[in-house]
A and B are shown apart, each in its own frame.
Chain A
Amino acid sequence: ETGVTQSPTHLIKTRGQQVTLRCSSQSGHNTVSWYQQALGQGPQFIFQYYREEENGRGNFPPRFSGLQFPNYSSELNVNALELDDSALYLCASSLSGRGSGNTIYFGEGSWLTVV
């Protein structure tokens, strides 16, 4: 139990649709990161939010966007879904904006299937 909760746990969307995934970070953590994990691969960094501002972004197109709220919970939005977006989306929370040296706690993820 990491204290990071994600919803929904599973969902199926049609190509071209939009999806919103939600994450509640561990109590006291002000930084949330999102990762995409395709089947058989390691997680790939999408972006990080620190105190409601985007603090870093991986190699993902602009149709991947996010938000962090004053209570540090977060959303990941993906527009114009493509088949290759099918993956496990992981939310991770930590105490500060610096990844090195800080323990990062992952949620159990949201499984997205695009058909």
Chain B
Amino acid sequence: TQLLEQSPQFLSIQEGENLTVYCNSSSVFSSLQWYRQEPGEGPVLLVTVVTGGEVKKLKRLTFQFGDARKDSSLHITAAQPGDTGLYLCAGANQAGTALIFGKGTTLSVSS
């Protein structure tokens, strides 16, 4: 069974701080995706990482895919209140028909 575990589950920080969210699995994934979800809305895709060791940057967000394609991390530099939300990592199941999601990391950034 493919599972994705995210940590931490909750994170409450002050504006300007840095943070890292982790997504780990014992299974190899062909790619991993990171989503951000705000209350009352559906998840919105932030990035897809495909190659082991790949690093992608999206403004203050840095995403890394592990060399073995079993884990990924999301690093936010100088967090802002607008970064508040639920961050989800997801990978395709073996059949390629569905996304398997982690339980998410709820981030709260206060000013």
Contact = CB atoms under 8 A, between A and B. Distances in A.
A98 B97 contact: yes
Interface residues of B, number: 25
Interface centre among A43, A48, A90, A108 (most CB of B within 10 A): A43
Interface stretch (B13-21, B40-48, B61-69, B72-80): B40-48
A113 to B, nearest CB: 14
Contacts of A33: 97-99
B42 A107 contact: yes
Contacts of B93: 45, 56, 99
A45 B99 contact: yes
B98 A56 contact: yes
Interface residues of A, number: 28
B30 interface: yes
Interface of B: 6, 30-31, 40-45, 48, 50, 88, 90, 92-93, 95-104
> What 6 A-B pairs come out closest when comparing CB atoms?
A56-B97, A106-B42, A42-B101, A45-B98, A100-B92, A99-B92
17 contacts: A33-B99, A35-B99, A40-B103, A41-B103, A42-B103, A43-B99, A43-B101, A56-B97, A56-B98, A90-B43, A92-B42, A100-B31, A100-B92, A104-B45, A108-B40, A109-B41, A109-B42
